[in-house]
Amino acid sequence: MEIALTSLHWVYLAFILFIMAMLVMRRDTMMVCVLGILALGLIATDSLGGSVSGIFNSFIYAIKELIGTILIISIIVSMSRILIRTGINEAMVAPLTRFIRTSAMAYWGIGIIMMVTSWFFWPSPGVALIGAVLLPVAVRVGLPALGAAMAMNLFGHGIALSGDYIIQGAPKLTADAAGLPVTQVMEASIPLVAVMGIVTTAAAYWFMRRDLKRGTFRDGLVAENAAGGGSAGQADVIPMAPTLKRVLAVVIPLLFLADVGAMIVFDLQGGDATALIGGTAVLILMAVTLLAHGNRGLEATTDYLIEGLQFGFRVFGPVIPIAAFFYLGDAAFADLIGHLPEGSHGIVNDLGVALANAVPLSGAVGSVTLTIVGAITGLDGSGFSGLSLVGSIAGMFGASVGGTDTLTALGQVAGIWVGGGTLIPWALIPAAAICGVSPFELARRNLPPVLIGLAVTTLVAMLLV
């Protein structure tokens, strides 16, 4: 499975390293990403016009890929605005304040609920459900909105998605490529997912508490909290009869619970589950707005929807150019820019294969290599596109050193944690947007604990191989 790296691969890798360095320095990366798209276009097409057009086409592609997430976040924000201004949100979360009394309970409680929900429905629908209900409670007891985003992100897009024990999308991809039964890969992943999850979430909490005590914690807010509201949201209070408010505070959670039941009964997953939640939120938005605003309800509904869309695009706007660049690392390159080198399976996958072919074979080296390959393939932000590659490389290493199932699970964990939504800014947008924080600041907060977790998990894998 030899892959000859070309200037296209090296330039892409150079821009990845440059972008990561800019993120660490807390500088904006939009211009760097646009220049990267232009450079790749020039190399692939030898045409200035084609490469310039590629910039716009890659933006369009990124928007198409992200539009579902943009809409669900915008709709949830729209619904949250009317719930906050009528006081329904306060009545709805009041019972939870009896159980979530401290910031620690909020962090771990939100995380565990997010993890369990994500096992059944994957993280994006879970973020919408949990953020809208629990974020106000968490903020009230002292957990920063960024801390709540970290909990939802690490437990949902990290722990739950990297194991994926219920839906089994991730382990099936890796297992098929490695030539193993799915159950064998899932069993091998249990200790790795557990170690990665415990180390990463504990480290993230410790770093947050330390920085809060020092006064160096950056809240990363980009606007008033999406689901939690802020001073602006509380200033414009809309009176509503207490009895009606209490009734709606019960009915609204029941509607979302009905969605959960429908997901189970009709086996709705991913985009279908998100669509069900989004449609329910739109109906709630219209009904509550009509009850609250009366004769002006028709116009007010549009105003709330516009407000939510403005928030969604304000949060997503800076991310689209970055997503556009990294999407070029996958097969989308051929459609957007030009032909890939002969035999290429995508720039990112080629880099992963080249790395695997360049290192000597041993259990320790195999573990480190699978972690690095998994992380590299996760850089496209999907977390799933490189899992087949990870499985095939694990199978190749396992044939020589053994422990194919452990190596496969390790690569899966690394790929999902990096690309599935804990480090790549556009992949962790759902949690960032619903909490009203910068996805870049969330990525920075996640980086040290995730790297620590990957290092410890790799050491554990070495002992298991």
d(Cα 130, Cα 114) in Å, to the nearest integer? 7
pLDDT > 90? residue 303: yes
Kindly tell me the burial class for residue 267, based on how many C-beta atoms sit within 10 Å of its own C-beta (0-12, 13-18, 19 or more).
Answer: exposed
Tokens of 156: 């949902």
- 343 within a domain of the structure (yes/no): no
pLDDT at 235: 44
- 280 within a domain of the structure (yes/no): yes
Q: Are 62 and 381 in contact (CB under 8 A)?
A: no
d(Cα 162, Cα 411) in Å, to the nearest integer? 10
Which pLDDT band holds residue 234 (cuts at 50, 70, 90)?
very low
Crossing angle of the two packed helices 270-293 and 48-86, in degrees rounded to 10: 50
Q: Are 159 and 197 in contact (CB under 8 A)?
A: yes
Which pLDDT band holds residue 230 (cuts at 50, 70, 90)?
very low
Interior angle at CA 162, CA 18 and CA 440, nearest 5: 35
- 460 within a domain of the structure (yes/no): no
Q: What share of the chain is helix, strand, coil (3-state, %, to 5)?
A: 80, 0, 20
Q: Are 154 and 422 in contact (CB under 8 A)?
A: yes
User: Which contacts (CB < 8 Å, 24+ apart) does range 48-56 have?
Assistant: 50/337, 50/338, 51/337, 54/336, 54/337, 54/338, 55/324
pLDDT > 60? residue 318: yes
pTM above 0.85, yes or no: no
Q: Domain containing 234: what range?
A: 68-163+220-315
User: What is the Cα 131 distance to its own chain's centre?
Assistant: 14
Average pLDDT, the chain: 84
**233 vs 373, which has greater pLDDT?**
373
Of 160, 150, 147, 217, give the one whose Cα is nearest residue 194: 160
Tallying the residues shown for the chain, one arrives at 465
**Residue 79 CB partners (closer than 8 Å, separation 6+):** 132, 281, 282, 284, 285, 288, 304, 308
Average pLDDT estimate for 321-339: 75
Q: Are 88 and 284 in contact (CB under 8 A)?
A: no
- 453 within a domain of the structure (yes/no): no
Of 108, 183, 187, 174, give the one whose Cα is nearest residue 141: 108
- 179 within a domain of the structure (yes/no): no
Q: Note the pLDDT tens digit of each residue in 123-170.
A: 876 787 678 778 888 988 999 999 999 999 999 999 998 998 877 778
Q: Note the pLDDT tens digit of each residue in 424-452.
A: 876 788 888 888 888 889 999 999 999 99
- Report how far apart, in Å, the C-alpha atoms of 216 and of each of 20, 148, 220, 221 are: 22, 17, 12, 15
Tokens of 373: 């390959």
- 265 within a domain of the structure (yes/no): yes
pLDDT at 1: 52
Crossing angle of the two packed helices 439-464 and 404-417, in degrees rounded to 10: 170
- 125 within a domain of the structure (yes/no): yes
Average pLDDT estimate for 317-330: 79
Q: Note the pLDDT tens digit of each residue in 96-115.
A: 777 888 999 999 999 998 99
d(Cα 341, Cα 25) in Å, to the nearest integer? 33
Kindly tell me the burial class for residue 115, based on how many C-beta atoms sit within 10 Å of its own C-beta (0-12, 13-18, 19 or more).
Answer: buried
% of the chain at pLDDT higher than 70:
90
d(Cα 39, Cα 429) in Å, to the nearest integer? 27
**Residue 89 CB partners (closer than 8 Å, separation 6+):** 80, 83, 136, 229
Strand partners, 221: 437
Q: What's the start-to-end Cα distance of the chain, in Å?
A: 23
- How many structural domains are present in the chain? 1
pLDDT at 464: 92
- 42 within a domain of the structure (yes/no): no
pLDDT at 223: 56
| Other C-beta atoms lying within 10 Å of the C-beta of residue 102 | 12
Q: Note the pLDDT tens digit of each residue in 374-431.
A: 888 777 676 776 787 788 778 877 766 788 899 999 999 999 999 888 988 767 888 8
User: Which contacts (CB < 8 Å, 24+ apart) does range 239-244 have?
Assistant: 240/86, 240/87, 240/88, 240/291, 240/292, 244/291
Tokens of 301: 């509904």
Residue type, 253: P
Q: Note the pLDDT tens digit of each residue in 24-74.
A: 676 777 898 899 999 998 988 888 888 898 899 989 988 887 788 788 878
Tokens of 460: 């554990």
H or E segment and range at residue 239: none
Tokens of 375: 């992380």
% of the chain at pLDDT higher than 90:
33
Give the three-state DSSP class for 26.
coil
d(Cα 201, Cα 107) in Å, to the nearest integer? 10
Give the three-state DSSP class for 181.
coil
d(Cα 314, Cα 303) in Å, to the nearest integer? 16
**Residue 117 CB partners (closer than 8 Å, separation 6+):** 125, 126, 129, 130, 156, 160
d(Cα 108, Cα 106) in Å, to the nearest integer? 6
Q: Note the pLDDT tens digit of each residue in 344-356.
A: 777 877 777 777 7
